[in-house]
Structure 1
């Protein structure tokens, strides 16, 4: 048998009379939703479903997918694992959540029912009492033993799944806020001692400590103050990325856009009232006062930097009246209703009122944000840079503030400004990725179209302008199966400190 050739593979076995082969058959399934055929997509993902302007060419502006600017992990290659205080496998949890259409659930069940979460940490006083009936899958023992078990789970997952990196992301219930207590959580050493001595430390902070000690980036997707000063100091000490807080998916994302528009248009918002009702388990947990307070703080602070940016409209310590209401209504399930009223003062003593009604599919809006947080964090782990005065390359600060676009209450390094304006946050991500390619920041001037005699030549079809002519050729280096471009643009990058050198697995010619 097999006289012409032979396949050397652990998945193929040559026997006397037969050839046995292990073969995974992959197919793309579609499903119908309300009579319309649907195909799986990543709508809602910044990197998978949006584009950026690379520059201008003979046919006008050239847009490319965000994910193609730099070599990024394909979300289809991510391996998932996790913890939950509920023992349900993911298929049964999917059924209980009532988020996906039934036909889609039936197609997913054979894959989801094989996935079961690992036991998790349950400390009743940190979440609402109405969650107790779900807590049947918990890690017992002291706080130190629980943290050690999480570390062992991370080690086991990395070994058995054979992944290159592990990034841990908190998507669990909103916890109450923790008091910052000197001697308990104010320093890294005190926090570690507090865990050893069984003092007050929240489950999300315990997960953060375990992740940091395992050299795994940790992202907080809920609004509580997971990153107490001791946790931040521990991350900096171990040079591990942390980020958060609270996924920015629906009402708050609109608020950051609308407030930016109103203030920059010279209108003065004086009253913002936001009302929500939802019926999923998140809403059930938030019906408890302490957990609601965590969310209220997260939602309220989103307008601060925009107010402070305009001293013409607002005096010192002046802010709009801002009220946030969240109610639990089981019937609406995951389909959250968000209603907002924005009242602004306008010219000649008048007022302008904008009222919005937003029906938010809560979990489906958050899911692509979860992917983006992981993808951007992983990319940042591969980027280093230095100025011409530095001898060595450095990484981003452990508090990864570039994630701000995806978070309601952005975590930033101490003493640095907090930016909530959505488009400024997006421009930050885009321009940092452009810098890794040696491209100038996107400034939207389009000056070449605003002059009598343009200084940019668009004759060569191979030329892209941003706004300087750059030629793009295929590079020789292959990174993660991706052929990164070599770019020659003759630009001298200056940030006031001299030239900046950036290494991001990209071959750059200057």
Structure 2
């Protein structure tokens, strides 16, 4: 048996900070408050409702994950964040329209009391939104210092023992890394010079890591998957990871594609289109912002199906992704997939999937799990990229030792649970024993 990891206890309050208090963050916060005040099950949270198999099956040792590892209690979570539009979480939740008033009314006072801090916001990165609650500063260096001051003030005023940050704001315009991102020294010089290639999400990531706060990126932005952030996270020994919450259509792809591969069925094409009408849909209606999302979504199939290993089955796939902004749909996204497969003697078949999902309902439990697990990682002495949490991301950030990220959701779950087993001094298990 491996020796258990020395993990600091989850004493005191854990502050969960979210850049962005919109649909995802407000739904997450409301759900946690409902769970701890009304006893509602946190459905969709692996950390709260999942189990982990230990030892001999005959022993029936299958504890809940939250009983197996020392996670922070829901009662100890404190919420805060920044938003360029909404003044508090109640206003944000009502504007988003995800949750009904009957669910918001009983907890409205607590939601209204969570006041958003003025945000670092630049319309050049999110052209379809107009921020009205925006920090003003002489340089991006000053903006980073202002965010760090917010972090420390929140820590003190809320008597937090520890903090985590989960990016829940909008998708930024697509960019490739530049010279300013190649080292901490170059990035800090770029902050002082207000380099136009430094985005708001990168300023938040820098401020978090400099403050010793784990950072999880829930959008397809370049945020912590940059040489400068990797260097800084190693230097400050802070856990980081991302990117882009795995919900909706991509979740279905990472479930279906491994099944097709397991039966050695061929794939000729996968056409995906989405309609949604929330703030995310409005932002993604801009081609530059959509490209960030498209790149995140398109990488899934190649990694799972390994066309280099199976060229006769997966070497020539037409993979198309579309997102359409349709305001009447609101947060209730509709994802259509047409999958052209073939089988014995090359005969064609089709699979049609119409997933009428609720984006923020699927994303909210991921925010909870990432907050709890990144806090656990920090208390376990982990730092740098937390590859074992790839389970939660569309485009998982690989460690430097990896050729590329793992996308098969079943393998990802095994890696997650085996990491927890090893930290607690238990033997890892195989895929079939998960």
1:43-122 equivalences in 2 (<5 Å) = 43-56=43-56, 58=58, 61-122=60-121
Q: Distance in 2 between matches of 1:309 and 1:434?
A: 32
Q: Give unpaired runs (5+ residues) of structure 1.
A: 1-27, 32-37, 384-394, 447-465, 467-510
Residues 174 and 294, structure 1, Cα contact 8 Å, conserved in 2? yes
Q: Distance in 2 between matches of 1:397 and 1:29?
A: 29
Counterpart of 1:433 (choices 417, 420, 424) is: 420
The alignment covers a number of residue pairs equal to 397
Counterpart in 2 of 1:370? Answer: 367
Q: Distance in 2 between matches of 1:92 and 1:375?
A: 26
Compute the TM-score of the two structures, normalised by the length of structure 2.
Answer: 0.87
Counterpart in 2 of 1:193? Answer: 189
SS in 2 for 1:242: strand
- The one-character-per-residue Cα deviations of 1:95-120 (angstroms, maximum 9, x if unpaired) are 11111112112212122112210001
Q: Which moved more, 1:301-310 or 1:422-431?
A: 301-310
1:405 aligns with 2:391: yes
Structure having the higher helix fraction is 2
Counterpart in 2 of 1:251? Answer: 249
SS in 1 for 2:160: coil
Residues 308 and 314, structure 1, Cα contact 8 Å, conserved in 2? no
Counterpart in 2 of 1:307? Answer: 305
Counterpart in 1 of 2:239? Answer: 241
Residues 307 and 315, structure 2, Cα contact 8 Å, conserved in 1? no
Give the CA RMSD over aligned residues: 2.2
Q: Distance in 1 between matches of 2:176 and 2:104?
A: 42
Instruction: Say if 1:294 and 1:94 are closer, same or farther in 2 by CA, change over 3 A.
Output: same
Residues 397 and 413, structure 1, Cα contact 8 Å, conserved in 2? no
Residues 87 and 119, structure 1, Cα contact 8 Å, conserved in 2? no
SS in 1 for 2:78: coil
Q: Which moved more, 1:113-122 or 1:102-111?
A: 102-111
Shift of 1:281: 0.6
Counterpart in 1 of 2:24? Answer: none
Q: Distance in 1 between matches of 2:119 and 2:284?
A: 20
Instruction: Say if 1:61 and 1:321 are closer, same or farther in 2 by CA, change over 3 A.
Output: farther
Q: Which moved more, 1:47-56 or 1:284-293?
A: 47-56
Relative contact order (alpha carbons < 8 A, sep ≥ 6): 1 or 2 greater? Answer: 2
Structure having the higher strand fraction is 1
Counterpart of 1:146 (choices 143, 149, 152) is: 143
Counterpart of 1:338 (choices 324, 329, 335) is: 335
Residues 79 and 114, structure 2, Cα contact 8 Å, conserved in 1? no
Q: Distance in 1 between matches of 2:33 and 2:214?
A: 34
1:448-467 equivalences in 2 (<5 Å) = none
Larger radius of gyration: 1
Counterpart in 2 of 1:176? Answer: 173
Shift of 1:255: 0.4
Residues 342 and 348, structure 2, Cα contact 8 Å, conserved in 1? yes
1:255-294 equivalences in 2 (<5 Å) = 255-294=253-292
